[in-house]
């Protein structure tokens, strides 16, 4: 079954509960990725994936396109996309937002 994604513009701030043992990930993309999913899994556990959509976010009169993930336990992860044959390795740091620029 195909998934339907409602592309709405997000204007509210994002609040993430990160702390001593958790961090999060934000991936900035081009507009053509809006509405697509990006998957992340713990390194060496490719089956246990979570995903989020790339959404348009507006603030201070500017538009940006980003995937904002809910907090993860700190550790090493694999990001699946845009080329599934070459996933990206990333480390989520406790108490921090890890940012990746795919623009």
pLDDT for position 41: 97
SS3 per-residue string spanning 20-34: CCEEEEEEEECHHHC
Report the predicted TM-score, pTM, of the whole model to 2 decimal places. 0.84
pLDDT in the model for residue 1: 41
pLDDT tens, residue by residue, 4-19 = 455 666 555 676 788 8
Q: How confident is the model at residue 58 (pLDDT cuts 50, 70, 90)?
A: confident
Rounded CA gap, 76 and 30, in Å? 25
In this predicted structure, the answer to whether residue 90 has a pLDDT above a threshold of 70 is yes
The pairing of strands 97-101 and 22-29 is parallel
* Residue 9 falls inside a structural domain: no
What does the angle CA 65 – CA 103 – CA 19 come to, to the nearest 5 degrees? 60
Length of the chain (residues): 103
Res. 23: pLDDT tops 80 = yes
The reply to whether 16 falls in a domain is no
For 43, the domain range is 22-101
Q: Is residue 14 part of a domain?
A: no
Q: What is the CATH number of the domain that holds 55?
A: 2.60.40.1120
Mean pLDDT of the 39-63 span: 91
Helix (H) or strand (E) holding 70: none
Q: Domain for residue 12, yes or no?
A: no
């Amino acid at each position: 079954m195909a998934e339907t994604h409602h592309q709405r513009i997000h204007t509210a701030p994002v609040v993430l509960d990160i702390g001593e043992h958790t961090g999060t990930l934000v991936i900035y993309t081009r507009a053509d990725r809006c509405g697509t999913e990006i998957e992340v899994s713990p390194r060496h556990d490719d089956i246990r994936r979570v995903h989020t959509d790339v959404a348009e976010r507006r603030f201070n009169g500017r538009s940006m396109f980003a995937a904002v993930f809910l907090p993860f336990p700190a550790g090493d992860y694999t990001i699946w996309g845009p080329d599934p044959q070459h996933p990206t390795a990333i480390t989520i740091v406790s108490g921090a937002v890890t940012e990746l620029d795919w623009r």
